[in-house]
Each structure stands twice: as structure tokens, then as C-alpha cells.
């Protein structure tokens, strides 16, 4: 049993009635390996009670055969010689369990991926298959019957990120009856979607479809929203996490504030570049990021507020009838106990105008940051948005005039192996088409020009949407890149190529919109390390399996959804969010959680408490514990494995100088026996 | 500062006014670059266009000679030379087999320790904050268009100098001298390079665009650090005016001309009187 | 340069991708190219387009496929290399002389020979005219370097 000292268990009897089941796997194994010969060779191994072969061991009849033999031959262990354990170990363990045999007394000998699929010579392959089976027999001989580990579950979910993905996941989990804690780093939830104008392919007003859900989150009885907050630490294991959340100082008491707006109207420092408007507009020092914010309560920017910097002003405090302003506010750290984490941290755009880390050096040739009228796609969204800094009128940032020629450039930073990011950002082709349409709908005599390399419009109704931009709204599409943008007499000279015509193209534009690449939100890699979730070289979080497990991670109990996983649009983010919510509900549906018991064990009698294992364990699964007498008298310090966290990697076994750590099912004795059996 | 000097064919040929200018200017700053002995042509366009191996071997010989003659730093005022030297050094750095092969071709070992510097880098080495106090005549009337041309900043992985799209190193020097460099659009566009004789029309067209844009942005002169660019913009300015029927009259200064003037040297000392387009009176 | 070329640079690379080497080698583009290096600097796939132009120039001469319309440019580059092989450093007068004579058959007008002659007094006035170019003392080493780089064939 887990937790038992290995020393005690060494007295257990080795298995002596082993059944070997050799699978043909149709042609996959039988074509290269002589399965009949291998079965009869196995029958001669001491301790093997029966050895048979069959065409498809994983099929119903095949499994029935195994169960029949377990009962009739009173088998005490089973070796199935077939495919990789990744394929069917669970299958055969369940089969054995149905026949009353402990599932951990089942081993698989991989004679497919490790033998028939990589060798051609029948003689050699057959001999190797026989050896592989002999090793598995040796191993299973010394296996122990194990019980799955049970851990309790805290049925509360933590959702990190309040964009559309986080909102969807939170609502699904809360509507299913579980409590949700949502943490959002900005003063309001809504994410990037709250700042968009209209969404493709329906041209729905983005805020109109999102704000009802934002309100739902804000008012949901089972959702606890920490806005203007960040996750600082997450400890524990699946079903049993503890999260430390830092609530940043708002300097406004939300419980007292009525959202009347007197404070931000009276604030004299009105000209701070607005983060929500991506610096296309201004906001006061005390502000609500946008009128439909949830919570609809202001926050004070401590970097610009005169009172906080030099004890001046203070007008908002004087004006506030509810007495909600509190300049003495501080950050607060709270703890929440949760059972599952859903990461929905979203994205940021590639910073075009500047050198970033290492290879990302920006695009100086586009003049972003140098020319006011060169903006990126999110900035254009704010221009077009009815609640934006120009109330939806499309105006040049330089002189406020209406642009009659707008150039849209795709793939800025994406698909660039030289100085950008190698991947495609997926949504830009669609939103660029959308931008040309929104522009045309507002500036009827305007002309949109799009420079593209390819058009990627694979979603439902997407291709038709792009054609609409070209055929109905007259957008001109040039297949080629832009080499340089310069300014002449107040116009932007855009020099590009039209490779379909084989000529260069020069356009005198009034405004240039760059479709910048999508990157994961800043700080996501720090968060990933907190959660033991892997991430790739771009910072996108890693899923367990790209095809079959897109919202799970290799950290049990941690799920991901939305743009933090990879660039994607709103329908996909929402779908993934619901998927993550479903996975969370599966977790919560169990009375208890079960974990695989093939984990490390530490012999507390021999452990010297050097804690080499504690320091090397990648899952922080080893605790510094004490051995005490039944009356509580201290005997010695020891290391102890937390069965809820241990992933059975064996690092501690390698690190332990006194050989006190052993891996259940993979003891040194077992491994040596397996090797010796080949001699 | 011990500095090797690789003039290149242009500075000892029809662009020897550049050499006069740089010796006078650097001399005023107490830097005396020492010409390396027995230097040979870097190969220029002809070698890299017609014979890849030669385009590495010729510069490599000069790198090796300079090292042999005890130098660690070498000024190559012509960006074609400096780029070819840097490219040869980089390729040999990345491929030890190539280094061995080239060393046997050029009959001397090229160890790759030598640092090749362009003119702007030499000023940066001296230190702009040390040059500033020596400025006697701030160039308040000068509105230069700083013209980098192609090879000072490209290819970026070879020359690794300044920014290939929005360079600013020359403007920094201009500002330090009290001049008012203009912001213009053709700072790194090609002038036509070595095609002056072979494809004159190309040079006239490309150089005309440069002069026109400089003027349009309010410049009253151009400053360059490349002898080929100087020839195409200065010597050919008359032909450009004739071909396009427009008058420019824009003096083309070498960078050392402008720095030298600010340090108090005369036009004659700097060889500015040898340019084709005259300075305004 | 786009106005002066028969194939755009990406079309040249496309020809190479498809194995149409002769088309690429015979283009005017590779000789109109001024090697400004802008292409290689900007390419998002890090294709060294400027290097490809160099390579195409070299092999097009090797295979005798260089565009006949470009004989003048070719003549200039060859005259330049010959000059260096002989002298170690450029002798400008000698270069112009050899270039003009080599290119005369393709230019086919005598005016070409004397076109830049008016420059001579202008350069002389400015002390920029060197009737005798500088020569490296050890010229045999230069010749040996050229030989080792296989440069007898472009002579």
C-alpha cells in the first residue's frame, strides 16, 4: 500500500501464476514477429502458467479471453504482449479488474512500436519479441497489488483572466453549480473583446454581445470577482490548490462607491494616454476604463495622481458624496482554496516599432511610432468603435481629417523567420477584411488597400466574408509585401509589391493600419511556472496533446483556453472555454479524485533527511516531515512523498544517496531482474 | 589610439579628397591612422559579382596584413571596403575550414582578431563627449541631410552597425556639432553604387531621387561617409541637373569635412575646395 | 530598380525554386542589380537574395548564358578584375581605357569612347587625376591569389 515502508513489502510473495497474452495486432505484429513461436517460448519461462496468442487482444473477444484465463487458471499476474502501454494499458487494466485481478498486476510488453514496427527481419524481430516478453514477466513477478490514491476535491474553480474566454468558462462552471473565483489584472473584465468595434463574420457589435455576459459575471451569486488583481502564487495539487491573490490598491472603496462619476469629471489631470484605447485617446488620473466596465467603479492611477505623488489636489475626495475615495489604500493579499485552475490570460500585440528581446527587432521600415498615422489593428478598432476616442469617426491621428486612402498591411511580425515570429496569427486576414468593410461603411468615398501574402479564412462563413469585402465593399487586395513607408507632404508613401501583376505598387495613403502578430499576454510565463504548466518558445501555454487534449495541461487540474494557448478568434476561444469548464466539471463530479499509485516511496527508517530529493523534485511533491512516537515524541526528521502531487518521475530515486527512495513498480531490484533475464 | 588605416582604391584614386579630409580632421583630434603596408584592393563590386572565393580572399589578405603589422583596430573609410572586410571576417569566423582554405590562398594566416571600424565608429570610439568641447565653430547654418547609403548599415548581420531602417549615428554627430540635421526619406536608399561608368542612367535616376528628397525636406547640403556616394551625388550632380532639367546646387560633404569645419579647420585644409559642387559663399 | 528589370527579384528566386536555372541566369535583372542589400535585409524568410544575385552572375558567365543586353556592365566588372590582378590596386585611367575598348562592340558608337573624356581636365584641376595608378610592390602574390581562385576564365 502506498505509505507503507518498502521494507515491509519486500516480504510479499513474488507472482507465480503469470499469464502471457501475445497479440497479432492484425498484421502489425504478426507480419514481422512469429507470434506462435513467441507464445510458446514464453510458456517455458518459470512462473508462466499459460501463454496464448490472438489476433486482436484489445477487442471484446480478446479481452474476454484474458478474463476467462484469469479465472480458469487462477492467474495472479498478466503480461499482454502487444502495442505501447500508451495505447491500451488502461484497457487491459480494466479488463483484469473486471476479472477480480488487481489492475497493477498487469504489464504490457511492447512488441509493436519497439519491435515489429522498427525491424524487418523476421528472425531477429521474433527473438527480440521473446526477450521483451521475458523482461516483462520478470517485472510483473515483483509487482505489488496497489490501490489508486484518493484525494479530496475542493469544488471551487479559479479562472485567471476575465476576457471572453475567462467569462465563458466562469459562467459555465458557475451555472453548473460550483463556485468560481475570477482574477482579472485590469480594473474591468472584458479583455480585448470589450475594446473591439464589430466582430467577424457577423459584424455584431462586440460590446453589445459581450457586456450582458460581463454583467452576468458581475452579478452571479457563485462568482467571486477580484478585479485589478493578480495571482501571486499557487500551491498544492489537483483538487487541493491554495491561491494567493494580490488585490492592487484602487484607492477607491468599491463597496461604498456608487459609480456616479463626479470624481472623474472633476479630476484636473485629464490627459493620460488611455490603456483601453491603446493610447489613441486620453483618460483622467481617476478613471473607469470604459463606461460599461464591470465593476463600474473607478481606479486611481498611482503613477499620475497628484495627491498620491506629492499630496496635492485631492478634488475627487472632496467631491465624493459616498466617501469612497481612500488615498491610504494599500495592496491586499488574500488566499483562496480551489480545486481547479482555468488559465484564460489572452494576448497582446507584437510591438512593431521597437527592438524587443533578441531576435524580435521590430519593423523600423514601417515607421510605427515615428509617423502618427501608422497605427496597429487594435488601435484601429478603437477608432472605429462607437464608444472610442473619436466616437467611431475615422480620423487621422495627426490632423483629425478623414482618411480617403487607407492601407492595411497583413502579417506584420507573423510568419517572419528573420525578425519576427514564425507562426501565423490566424485572425488577421479576417479582421483586416472586416476593417476594410467598417472603413467603407463609414467613409463612402474612401478606398481601402490591403497588402497580403495569403488569405486564411477557414471558419464558417469566413471565405464568403472576405469575398464580400472585395466584391461588395471594393477593397483592393495586392498580393505582396510592403517594403517601406515614408512621409511626404502629410501623406504616407507606401511602397509595396503586387506579385500577381509582377509590378511594384506605390500608394499615397492617409492612414496605415498594421496587422500586428498576436503574442501571449505579458507575464504569462511567470504564471505558467507558478502552475507547473509548460510553455513553448513563444510563451504559448502547452496542452497535453495537440489533437486529443487541447484544453488540458500536464499539470493535473490546470486547464487552458483562448489565446494563451495559441492565436485564435472569439468562437474558438468560447468553445475552448466551455471545454475547459467541462473538464473542470468532470474533476468536480467525482466524490474523490483518484491518482495513479505508481509513485515514489521513502523508507523512513533509512532516510537520513539530507533532502536531496526535496531539492530535486520537479513537482514539489516531497515534504520535510518528522517521525514521532505514538505519544508525539520526536524521533527523527525524514523526507515524505505527498501522494497527491508525486508524478512518479523517479528523480528522487536517482538523487537519494542512501537508497531510501524507491519507485513503486520500478524498484531497483525489478530493473536488475529484467536486465539479468536477458543474459 | 593605435589605428590601422585601409584607404581602399577610391581614397587613393579620384576620391583622394576624402583622404585629405579625414587625415586633417582626425589629425586635429590627435588620431593618426597608419596606412597598412602592401594593402590590396578589397575586390569591391567586381569580385563579389564575379568570383565568390576572390571576394573573400582579397579582403582576408588585408585583414591578415594588418594583424601581422601589429594592429588591433582598422579604419576602412569606404563602406564597400568595410563591408567586404567584415563579411570575409564573419564567414571565416563561422567556418574554420574556410579560414584554413583562404589562409593558404592568401599565403598568410588570418586569425580574425582585427576589428574593422567605419568612420562613424571611429568618432564614437574617440567619444562624442570628447569631441564636443573641441568644437570652435558650431555649424548653426548647416541643415544637412545625413546620407548613409547602403553598406554602412546593411546587411545588418554582417556590419552590425546602427539601425538598418532608422539609423541615427550620423545625426547624433551633427547635433553635437550644432547643426540641424533634417528628417528625410532617402537616408538609406542606394545612389547607384559602382554603376557610374557601366550604367550611368541608373546612377542618375537613383541619385536624383536622393537629391530631390533632401531638398524637399529643407536640407541645404548632404553629408556622406562613402566615396562612391560622394562621386554619384557630387561629381555627377551637374549631369543629373542636365538630365532632369532641375537645379540642385547642394554641396556634398564628407563627414570629416563637417566635423573638421566645426573644429576650426579651413575648407582648403579639408579639401572641400576640390569638390565639384561649390560651397555657398 | 524595379523599372529597369525584366524579372522581379522574387521571380528570379521562383525560377530557381522550380529548377529553371537558365531563365534566371539569362535575366537582365541580375546585372541591373546594384547590390544595395535591401532585399536580404528585409526578407522574412532570411533568403539572401543579394547573394543569389552574386551567384547567378558568376555562374551565368561560367555557362555563357549572361544576357547579351548586359555586355557593357559585364565588360566593366571584368576590366576591373583584370586591373586588380595586374596592379593589386585600381589604376583608374587603365580601367577606363580597358572598359571602353571592351564595351565598344556592344555599345557600337564611338561617342561612347570619348563620353567621359571631359571629366579628365575637371579631375586634373582638382588634383584627382592620377595618370599612373598606385601599384602594389608584391604583385606576383596578387596574381597567385587570383589563380587560386580560378580566375583565368573571366579574363
Phi/psi of residue A485, each to 5°? Answer: -120, 125
Report how many domains make up chain C: 2
Q: For residues A73 and A99, is the Cβ–Cβ distance under 8 A? A: no
My answer on whether C102 and C82 are in the same domain is: yes
Q: For residues B120 and B255, is the Cβ–Cβ distance under 8 A? A: yes
Give, as one character, the DSSP assignment of residue A115.
Answer: I
pLDDT for residue C55: 97
Phi/psi of residue B172, each to 5°? Answer: -60, -40
pLDDT, mean over chain B: 95
- Does the distance separating the beta carbons of C138 and B190 come in below 8 Å? no
CA distance B103 to B60: 8
pLDDT, mean over chain C: 90
Nearest CA in chain A to C41: A418
Phi/psi of residue B271, each to 5°? Answer: 80, 15
**Quick check: ipTM above 0.85?**
yes
Residues of chain B with C-beta less than 8 angstroms from the C-beta of C149: 51, 53-54, 57, 105
Angle at CA of residue A369, ends A366 and A373, nearest 5°: 75
pLDDT digits (tens, 9 = 90+) for C67-76: 999 999 999 9
Higher pLDDT, A620 or A211: A211
My answer on whether C73 and C143 are in the same domain is: yes
Q: Which chains touch B (3 or more CB pairs under 8 A)?
A: A, C
Instruction: Domain of residue C133: give its range.
Output: 69-148
Nearest CA in chain C to B42: C89
Instruction: Categorize the per-residue pLDDT at C2 as very low, low, confident or very high, splitting at 50, 70 and 90.
Output: low
CA distance A621 to A642: 5
My answer on whether C137 and C82 are in the same domain is: yes
Give, as one character, the DSSP assignment of residue A114.
Answer: I
Q: Is the C-alpha dihedral spanning A538, A541, A544, A545 positive or negative?
A: negative
**What is the longest distance spanned by two Cα atoms in chain B?**
58
Q: How far is A367 from chain B (nearest CA, A)?
A: 8
Instruction: Judge whether C154 lies within some domain.
Output: no
Instruction: Judge whether C97 lies within some domain.
Output: yes
pLDDT digits (tens, 9 = 90+) for B209-237: 999 999 999 999 999 999 999 999 999 99
pLDDT digits (tens, 9 = 90+) for A322-352: 999 999 999 999 999 999 999 999 999 998 8
Averaged pLDDT for residues A575-590: 96
- Does the distance separating the beta carbons of B199 and C72 come in below 8 Å? yes
Which residue from C11, C42, C46 is facing A417, i.e. has the nearest CB? C46
Task: Kindly indicate whether the domain formed by B4-120 is annotated with CATH number 1.25.40.10.
Answer: no
Higher pLDDT, C46 or A420: C46
- Does the distance separating the beta carbons of C134 and B190 come in below 8 Å? no
Q: Is the pLDDT of residue A622 over 50?
A: yes
Count of residues in chain B:
281
Which residue from C61, C73, C141 is facing B199, i.e. has the nearest CB? C73
Q: For residues A320 and A568, is the Cβ–Cβ distance under 8 A? A: no
pLDDT for residue A546: 93
Which residue from A417, A419, A499 is facing C10, i.e. has the nearest CB? A499
- Does the distance separating the beta carbons of B163 and A364 come in below 8 Å? yes
b vs e for A393-412, b when ≥16 Cβ sit within 10 Å of the residue's Cβ? ebbbbeeeeebebbbbbbbb
Instruction: Judge whether C153 lies within some domain.
Output: no
Q: Which of A498, A592, A242, B19 is nearest to C2 (CA)?
A: A498
pLDDT above 90: percentage of residues in chain B: 96
Averaged pLDDT for residues B239-264: 96
Element (H, E) at A348: strand A347-349
pLDDT for residue A2: 46
Tell me the fold of B129-274. Answer: Rossmann fold (3.40.50)
Q: Which long-range contacts (CB under 8 A, 24 or more apart) does A325-331 make?
A: A325/A251, A325/A252, A325/A253, A325/A263, A325/A286, A325/A300, A326/A251, A326/A252, A326/A253, A327/A251, A327/A300, A329/A249, A329/A250, A329/A251, A329/A252, A329/A253, A330/A249, A331/A246, A331/A247, A331/A248, A331/A249
My answer on whether C73 and C131 are in the same domain is: yes
pLDDT for residue A356: 67
Residues of chain B with C-beta less than 8 angstroms from the C-beta of A356: none
Q: Is the pLDDT of residue A374 over 60?
A: yes
Instruction: Judge whether C9 lies within some domain.
Output: yes
My answer on whether C43 and C59 are in the same domain is: yes
My answer on whether C83 and C60 are in the same domain is: no
With an 8 Å Cβ cutoff, is B157 touching chain A?
A: no
Element (H, E) at C30: helix C29-32
Which one of C17, C42, C66 terminates a domain?
Answer: C66
Enumerate residues 87 to 146 of chain C having a beta carbon within 8 A of any beta carbon in chain B: 88-90, 92, 96, 99, 116, 119, 122-123, 126-130, 133-134, 136-138, 141-142, 144-146
Residues whose CB falls within 8 Å of the CB of residue C12, separated by 6 or more in sequence, listed in order: C24, C27, C29, C30, C52, C53, C56
Return the beta strands (E) in A65-117 as ranges.
77-82, 106-110
Q: How far is C18 from chain B (nearest CA, A)?
A: 23
My answer on whether C93 and C135 are in the same domain is: yes
Give, as one character, the DSSP assignment of residue B254.
Answer: E
pLDDT digits (tens, 9 = 90+) for A278-311: 999 999 999 999 999 999 999 999 999 999 999 9
My answer on whether C39 and C73 are in the same domain is: no
Q: Is C99 exposed, middle or buried (0-12, 13-18, 19+ CB in 10 A)?
A: buried
With an 8 Å Cβ cutoff, is C56 touching chain B?
A: no
Nearest CA in chain B to C128: B14
* Residue in C1, C37, C44 to test binding to A, most A beta-carbons within 10 Å: C44
Instruction: Categorize the per-residue pLDDT at A593 as very low, low, confident or very high, splitting at 50, 70 and 90.
Output: confident
Q: Is A610 exposed, middle or buried (0-12, 13-18, 19+ CB in 10 A)?
A: middle
pLDDT for residue A7: 45
Residues of chain B with C-beta less than 8 angstroms from the C-beta of C78: 46, 50
Residues of chain C with C-beta less than 8 angstroms from the C-beta of B164: 41
CA distance A69 to A79: 12
Looking at the DSSP bridge assignments, the partners of residue A498 are A503
Q: Is the pLDDT of residue A355 over 80?
A: no
**DSSP per residue, B43-90:** -HHHHHHH-HHHHHHHHHHHHHHHHHTT-SEEE--SHHHHHHHHHHHH
- Does the distance separating the beta carbons of B151 and C81 come in below 8 Å? no
Q: Which of C96, C13, C3, C106 is nearest to C51 (CA)?
A: C13
Looking at the DSSP bridge assignments, the partners of residue B200 are none
pLDDT for residue B100: 95
pLDDT above 70: percentage of residues in chain A: 97
Instruction: Judge whether C42 lies within some domain.
Output: yes
Q: For residues A435 and A513, is the Cβ–Cβ distance under 8 A? A: yes
CB pairs under 8 A between A and B: 13
Averaged pLDDT for residues A532-538: 95
Return the beta strands (E) in B68-191 as ranges.
73-75, 115-117, 144-147
With an 8 Å Cβ cutoff, is C59 touching chain B?
A: no
Query: Distance of CA C49 to CAs A187, A666, B11, C8, C30, Å?
Result: 49, 56, 30, 11, 10
With an 8 Å Cβ cutoff, is B230 touching chain C?
A: no
pLDDT digits (tens, 9 = 90+) for B147-187: 999 999 999 999 999 999 999 999 999 999 999 999 999 99
Torsion, Cα of A409, A411, A417, A420 (10° steps): 80
CA distance A208 to B39: 74
Nearest CA in chain B to C90: B9
Nearest CA in chain B to A366: B165
- Does the distance separating the beta carbons of B14 and C57 come in below 8 Å? no
* Residue in C12, C42, C43 to test binding to A, most A beta-carbons within 10 Å: C42
Q: For residues A229 and A183, is the Cβ–Cβ distance under 8 A? A: yes
Q: Which of C30, C31, C32, C52 is nearest to C40 (CA)?
A: C52
Torsion, Cα of C138, C143, C145, C146 (10° steps): 150
Q: Using alpha carbons only, how large is chain B's radius of gyration in Å?
A: 18
Q: How far is A357 from chain C (nearest CA, A)?
A: 17
My answer on whether C59 and C20 are in the same domain is: yes
pLDDT for residue A1: 43
Instruction: Categorize the per-residue pLDDT at A358 as very low, low, confident or very high, splitting at 50, 70 and 90.
Output: low
My answer on whether C55 and C74 are in the same domain is: no
Q: For residues B196 and C76, is the Cβ–Cβ distance under 8 A? A: no
Torsion, Cα of B80, B83, B88, B94 (10° steps): -160
Q: For residues A250 and A229, is the Cβ–Cβ distance under 8 A? A: no
Q: How far is B154 from chain A (nearest CA, A)?
A: 13
**DSSP per residue, A160-213:** E--SHHHHHHHHHHHHTT-EEEEEESSSSS-TTGGG-SEETTTTEEHHHHHHHH
Positions of CATH 1.20.1050.140 in chain B: 4-120
Which one of C15, C38, C66 terminates a domain?
Answer: C66
Q: Which of A133, A92, A91, A94 is nearest to A110 (CA)?
A: A133
Instruction: Evaluate the omega torsion of the peptide bond into residue A464 and state whether it is cis, within 30 degrees of 0.
Output: no
Provide the terminal-to-terminal Cα distance of chain C, rounded to the nearest Å. 28
My answer on whether C132 and C61 are in the same domain is: no
Give, as one character, the DSSP assignment of residue A327.
Answer: T
CA distance B204 to B201: 5
Positions of CATH 3.40.50.11810 in chain B: 129-274
* Residue in C80, C127, C152 to test binding to B, most B beta-carbons within 10 Å: C80
CA distance B161 to B29: 23
Looking at the DSSP bridge assignments, the partners of residue B24 are none
Phi/psi of residue A53, each to 5°? Answer: -130, 155
- CA neighbours within 13 Å on the CB side: how many for C70? 24
Which one of C32, C66, C100 terminates a domain?
Answer: C66
Instruction: Judge whether C27 lies within some domain.
Output: yes
My answer on whether C97 and C139 are in the same domain is: yes
Q: Is the C-alpha dihedral spanning B179, B182, B183, B187 positive or negative?
A: negative
pLDDT digits (tens, 9 = 90+) for A445-470: 999 999 999 999 999 999 999 999 99
Residues of chain C with C-beta less than 8 angstroms from the C-beta of A416: 44
Which domains are seen in chain A, by residue range?
Answer: 6-147 (3.40.50), 156-344+558-589 (3.50.50.60), 347-519 (3.50.50.60), 600-663 (3.30.70.20)
pLDDT digits (tens, 9 = 90+) for B29-76: 999 999 999 999 999 999 999 999 999 999 999 999 999 999 999 999
- Tell me the whole-structure pTM to 2 decimals: 0.85
pLDDT, mean over chain A: 94
Amino acid at each position: 500500500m502506498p505509505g507503507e515502508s518498502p521494507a515491509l513489502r519486500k516480504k510479499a510473495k513474488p507472482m507465480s501464476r503469470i499469464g502471457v497474452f501475445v497479440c497479432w495486432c492484425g498484421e502489425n505484429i504478426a507480419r514481422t514477429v512469429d507470434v506462435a513461436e513467441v507464445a510458446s517460448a514464453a510458456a517455458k519461462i518459470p512462473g508462466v502458467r499459460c501463454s496464448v496468442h490472438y489476433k486482436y487482444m484489445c477487442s471484446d473477444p480478446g479481452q474476454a479471453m484474458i478474463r476467462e484465463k484469469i479465472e480458469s487458471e487462477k492467474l495472479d499476474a498478466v503480461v499482454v504482449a502487444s502495442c505501447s502501454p500508451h495505447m491500451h494499458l488502461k484497457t487491459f487494466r480494466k479488463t483484469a479488474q473486471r476479472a477480480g485481478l488487481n489492475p497493477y498486476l498487469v504489464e504490457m510488453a511492447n512488441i509493436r512500436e519497439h519491435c515489429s514496427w522498427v525491424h524487418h527481419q523476421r528472425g531477429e524481430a521474433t527473438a527480440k519479441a521473446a526477450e521483451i516478453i521475458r523482461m516483462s514477466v520478470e517485472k510483473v513477478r515483483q509487482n505489488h497489488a496497489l490501490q489508486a490514491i484518493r484525494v479530496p476535491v475542493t469544488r471551487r474553480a479559479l479562472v485567471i483572466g476575465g476576457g471572453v474566454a475567462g467569462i465563458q468558462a466562469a459562467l459555465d462552471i458557475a451555472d453548473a453549480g460550483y463556485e468560481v473565483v475570477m482574477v482579472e489584472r485590469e480594473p474591468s473584465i472584458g479583455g480585448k473583446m470589450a475594446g473591439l468595434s464589430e466582430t467577424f463574420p457577423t459584424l455584431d457589435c462586440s460590446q453589445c454581445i459581450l457586456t450582458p455576459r460581463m454583467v452576468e459575471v458581475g452579478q452571479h451569486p457563485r462568482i467571486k470577482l477580484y478585479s485589478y488583481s493578480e495571482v501571486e502564487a499557487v500551491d498544492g495539487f489537483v483538487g487541493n490548490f491554495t491561491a494567493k491573490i494580490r488585490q492592487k490598491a484602487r484607492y477607491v472603496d468599491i463597496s461604498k462607491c456608487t459609480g456616479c462619476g463626479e470624481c472623474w469629471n472633476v479630476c484636473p489631470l485629464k490627459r493620460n494616454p488611455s490603456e483601453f484605447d491603446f493610447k489613441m485617446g486620453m483618460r483622467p488620473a481617476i478613471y473607469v476604463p470604459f463606461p460599461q466596465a464591470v465593476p463600474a467603479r473607478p481606479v486611481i492611477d498611482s503613477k499620475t495622481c497628484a495627491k498620491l505623488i506629492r499630496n496635492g489636489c485631492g478634488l475627487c475626495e472632496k467631491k465624493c458624496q459616498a466617501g469612497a475615495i481612500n488615498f491610504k489604500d494599500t495592496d491586499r493579499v488574500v488566499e483562496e482554496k480551489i480545486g481547479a485552475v482555468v488559465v484564460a490570460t489572452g494576448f497582446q500585440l507584437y510591438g512593431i516599432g521597437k527592438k524587443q528581446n533578441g531576435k524580435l527587432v521590430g519593423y523600423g521600415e514601417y515607421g510605427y511610432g515615428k509617423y502618427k498615422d501608422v497605427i496597429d489593428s487594435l488601435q484601429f478598432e478603437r477608432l472605429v468603435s462607437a464608444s472610442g476616442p473619436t466616437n467611431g469617426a475615422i480620423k487621422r491621428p495627426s490632423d483629425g481629417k478623414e482618411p480617403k486612402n487607407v492601407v492595411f498591411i497583413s502579417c506584420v511580425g507573423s510568419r517572419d523567420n528573420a525578425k519576427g515570429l514564425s507562426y501565423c496569427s490566424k485572425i488577421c486576414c479576417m479582421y483586416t477584411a472586416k476593417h476594410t468593410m467598417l472603413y467603407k461603411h463609414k467613409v463612402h468615398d474612401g478606398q481601402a488597400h490591403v497588402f497580403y501574402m495569403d488569405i486564411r479564412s477557414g471558419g464558417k462563413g469566413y471565405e464568403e466574408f472576405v469575398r464580400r469585402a472585395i466584391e461588395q465593399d471594393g477593397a483592393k487586395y495586392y498580393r505582396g509585401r510592403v517594403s517601406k513607408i515614408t512621409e511626404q507632404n502629410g501623406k504616407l508613401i507606401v511602397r509595396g509589391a503586387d506579385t500577381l501583376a509582377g509590378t511594384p505598387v506605390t500608394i499615397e495613403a492617409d492612414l496605415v493600419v498594421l496587422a500586428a502578430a498576436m503574442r501571449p499576454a505579458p507575464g504569462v510565463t511567470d504564471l505558467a511556472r507558478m502552475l507547473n504548466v509548460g510553455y513553448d518558445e513563444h510563451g504559448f501555454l502547452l496542452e497535453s496533446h495537440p489533437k486529443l487534449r487541447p484544453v488540458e495541461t500536464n499539470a493535473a487540474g490546470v486547464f487552458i483556453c483562448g489565446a494563451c494557448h495559441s492565436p485564435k478568434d472569439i468562437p474558438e476561444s468560447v468553445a475552448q472555454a466551455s471545454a475547459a469548464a467541462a473538464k473542470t466539471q468532470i474533476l468536480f463530479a467525482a466524490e474523490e479524485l483518484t491518482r495513479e499509485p505508481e509513485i515514489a516511496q521513502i523508507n523512513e527508517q533509512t532516510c537520513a533527511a539530507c533532502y536531496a530529493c526535496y531539492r530535486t523534485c520537479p513537482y514539489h511533491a516531497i515534504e520535510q516531515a518528522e517521525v514521532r512516537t505514538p505519544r508525539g515524541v520526536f524521533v527523527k526528521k525524514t523526507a515524505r512523498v505527498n501522494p497527491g502531487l508525486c508524478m512518479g518521475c523517479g528523480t528522487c530515486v536517482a538523487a537519494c544517496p542512501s537508497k531510501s527512495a524507491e519507485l513503486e513498480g520500478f524498484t531497483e531490484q525489478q530493473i536488475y531482474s529484467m536486465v539479468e533475464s536477458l543474459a | 589610439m593605435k589605428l590601422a588605416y585601409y584607404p581602399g582604391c577610391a581614397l587613393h584614386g579620384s576620391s583622394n579628397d576624402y583622404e585629405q579630409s579625414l587625415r586633417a580632421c582626425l589629425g586635429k583630434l590627435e588620431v593618426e591612422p597608419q596606412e597598412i603596408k602592401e594593402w590590396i584592393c578589397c575586390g569591391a563590386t567586381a569580385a563579389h559579382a564575379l568570383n565568390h572565393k576572390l571576394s573573400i580572399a582579397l579582403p582576408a589578405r588585408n585583414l591578415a596584413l594588418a594583424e601581422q603589422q601589429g594592429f588591433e583596430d582598422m579604419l576602412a573609410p569606404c563602406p564597400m571596403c568595410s563591408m567586404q572586410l567584415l563579411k570575409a571576417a564573419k564567414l571565416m569566423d563561422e567556418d574554420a575550414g574556410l579560414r584554413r582554405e583562404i589562409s593558404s590562398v592568401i599565403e598568410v594566416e588570418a586569425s580574425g582578431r582585427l576589428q574593422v571600424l567605419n568612420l562613424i565608429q571611429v568618432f564614437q570610439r574617440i567619444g562624442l563627449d570628447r569631441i564636443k568641447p573641441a568644437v570652435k565653430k558650431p555649424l548653426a547654418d548647416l541643415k544637412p541631410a545625413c546620407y548613409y547609403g547602403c553598406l554602412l548599415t546593411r546587411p545588418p548581420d554582417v556590419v552590425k552597425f546602427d539601425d538598418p531602417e532608422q539609423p541615427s549615428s550620423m545625426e547624433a554627430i551633427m547635433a553635437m556639432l550644432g547643426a540641424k540635421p533634417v528628417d528625410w526619406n532617402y537616408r538609406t536608399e542606394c545612389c547607384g553604387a559602382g554603376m557610374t561608368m557601366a550604367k550611368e542612367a541608373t546612377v542618375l535616376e537613383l541619385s536624383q531621387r536622393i537629391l530631390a528628397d533632401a531638398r524637399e525636406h529643407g536640407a541645404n547640403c548632404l553629408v556622406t561617409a562613402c566615396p562612391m556616394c560622394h562621386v554619384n551625388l557630387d561629381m555627377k550632380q551637374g549631369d543629373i541637373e542636365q538630365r532632369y532639367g532641375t537645379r540642385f546646387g547642394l554641396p556634398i560633404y564628407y563627414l570629416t569635412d563637417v566635423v573638421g569645419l566645426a573644429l576650426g579647420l579651413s575648407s582648403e585644409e579639408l579639401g572641400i575646395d576640390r569638390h565639384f559642387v561649390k560651397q555657398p559663399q | 530598380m524595379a523599372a529597369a528589370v525584366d524579372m522581379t527579384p522574387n521571380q528570379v528566386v521562383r525560377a530557381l525554386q522550380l529548377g529553371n536555372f537558365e531563365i534566371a541566369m539569362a535575366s537582365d535583372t541580375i546585372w541591373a542589380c546594384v547590390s544595395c542589400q535591401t532585399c536580404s535585409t528585409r526578407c522574412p524568410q532570411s533568403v539572401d537574395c543579394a547573394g543569389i544575385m552574386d551567384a547567378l552572375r558568376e555562374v551565368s558567365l561560367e555557362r555563357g548564358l549572361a544576357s547579351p543586353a548586359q555586355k557593357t556592365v559585364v565588360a566593366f566588372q571584368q576590366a576591373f578584375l583584370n586591373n586588380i590582378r595586374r596592379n593589386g590596386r585600381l589604376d583608374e585611367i587603365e580601367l577606363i581605357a580597358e572598359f571602353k575598348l571592351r564595351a565598344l562592340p556592344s555599345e557600337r558608337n564611338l561617342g561612347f569612347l570619348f563620353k567621359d573624356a571631359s571629366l579628365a581636365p575637371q579631375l586634373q584641376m582638382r588634383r584627382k587625376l592620377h595618370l599612373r595608378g598606385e601599384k602594389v610592390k608584391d604583385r606576383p602574390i596578387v596574381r597567385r591569389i587570383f589563380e587560386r581562385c580560378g580566375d583565368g576564365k573571366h579574363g
